[in-house]
Amino acid sequence: MRVTIKDIAKKAGVSIATVSYIINNTKPVTPETRDKVLQAIKELNYRPNYSARGLANYRTNLIGVLIPYWDEDTKQGVMFDNPFYSELVRGVEVVTSKHHYHILLMGISDRPQAVTNLVQQRDLDGLIVVGAYQELVASLTKIEIPVVLVDTYAEHSRFYTVQIDDEYGGYLATQYLLTMGHEKIGLLTGELFPQGVAVRRFQGYKKALAERGLEVNHKYVYETKISTQGGYEGIDHLLQQAPDLTALFSMADIMTIGILKRLREAKLKVPDHLSIVSFDGVLYPEFLNPALTTIDQDIFEKGRIAATLLIKLIFGEKITEPHVVLPVTLAARESVKELK
């Protein structure tokens, strides 16, 4: 049996309204009344019901974390296939648990309506959305609760954002390969849509090549899914259309695992046959074979900052930095060979 506000009122000998004033801090009451009610709450071990609080427009202490699906049809590669997301949620959880908030975790497909429904149905206090695409961003502009976007390029002023310098990451990866003597540099990229990180990393790739007086050879670029399967199939396509590649910039560690798998099957060695720079640094790259040269980002910190921003927004605190851009660094390990 759940203890209700009614039980508290009965036990304390006050009206239900009075109990409600005290619980929700909506009206002052005398200290004696307050003490009586708090005593009853303690004795009956009463806990407020967040569903009920949600109804009355109180905070529900619930935020949504929305993560994109890769493949709605097959449900393959759904969200957590990429350890990136678990690391991010870990950062979020560290903050929310401190503020007694709970996380509603949801994959999002390409139906943006699902998100507005979710916010309404669950009375969410706020949303963290990772990697949102155009239709979703448009749909999010209409939502009345605070929204923090992670890894999403959206111009709309209502959004708070946390991201890395993706263009610089792509530039850094490519420039490193150039300094190591490579010019035939492939790019295995995630989906290139305007709000995404992949387009920016591609820009960085272009920029580094341009500085060297090189143009993008479209045979060297292949767009695929950010998953092991995407990497496995992608490298196959790429090497068929451009067998002369000496190096590769892979846009995500999870994709690189698929690449390593396919190369191993084809008896092609990294870095002897193909040098690789990967992105994220999330899969313990120093213990992979070969130790993977990566563009590292602090994904845990991304989640932590996104949640900190969101909680501040929910509590109406002042936001001094609405758009946070975290740094990326190159960690040179053993997957790139110098071309002489």
Q: Which of residues 176-235 bind a copy of itself (CB under 8 A)?
A: none
Return the number of other C-beta atoms located less than 10 Å from residue 122's C-beta. 16
Alpha-carbon gap, residue 265 to 134, rounded angstroms? 38
Q: Which two tokens stand for residue 28?
A: 């002052």
Return the number of other C-beta atoms located less than 10 Å from residue 45's C-beta. 7
Q: Does 15 bind a copy of itself (CB under 8 A)?
A: no
User: Least Å distance between CB 317 and a copy of itself?
Assistant: 22
User: Least Å distance between CB 266 and a copy of itself?
Assistant: 15
Considering CB under 8 A, how many residues would be counted as binding a copy of itself?
48
Q: Is 139 exposed, middle or buried (0-12, 13-18, 19+ CB in 10 A)?
A: middle
User: Least Å distance between CB 151 and a copy of itself?
Assistant: 17
Peptide bond into 271 cis (omega under 30): yes
Q: Does 40 bind a copy of itself (CB under 8 A)?
A: no
User: Least Å distance between CB 118 and a copy of itself?
Assistant: 8
Q: Does 16 bind a copy of itself (CB under 8 A)?
A: no
Q: Which of residues 86-145 bind a copy of itself (CB under 8 A)?
A: 86-87, 89-90, 93-94, 97, 102-107, 117-118, 120-123
Peptide bond into 290 cis (omega under 30): yes
Alpha-carbon gap, residue 102 to 100, rounded angstroms? 7
- What mask of x and - would describe binding to a copy of itself in positions 55 to 74, judged by CB under 8 A? x----x-x------------
User: Least Å distance between CB 75 and a copy of itself?
Assistant: 5
User: Least Å distance between CB 45 and a copy of itself?
Assistant: 9
Select from 133, 124, 136 the least CA-distant residue to 151: 133
What's the chain's length in residues? 340
User: Least Å distance between CB 102 and a copy of itself?
Assistant: 6
Is the alpha carbon torsion for 191, 189, 80, 102 positive or negative?
negative
- What mask of x and - would describe binding to a copy of itself in positions 272 to 291, judged by CB under 8 A? -----------xx-xxxxxx
Beta partners for residue 57, in sequence order: none
Select from 191, 177, 203 the least CA-distant residue to 278: 177
Contact 30, 49 (CB under 8 A): no
The site for a copy of itself (CB under 8 A) is made up of: 2, 47-52, 54-55, 60, 62, 75, 78-81, 83, 85-87, 89-90, 93-94, 97, 102-107, 117-118, 120-123, 257, 260-261, 283-284, 286-291
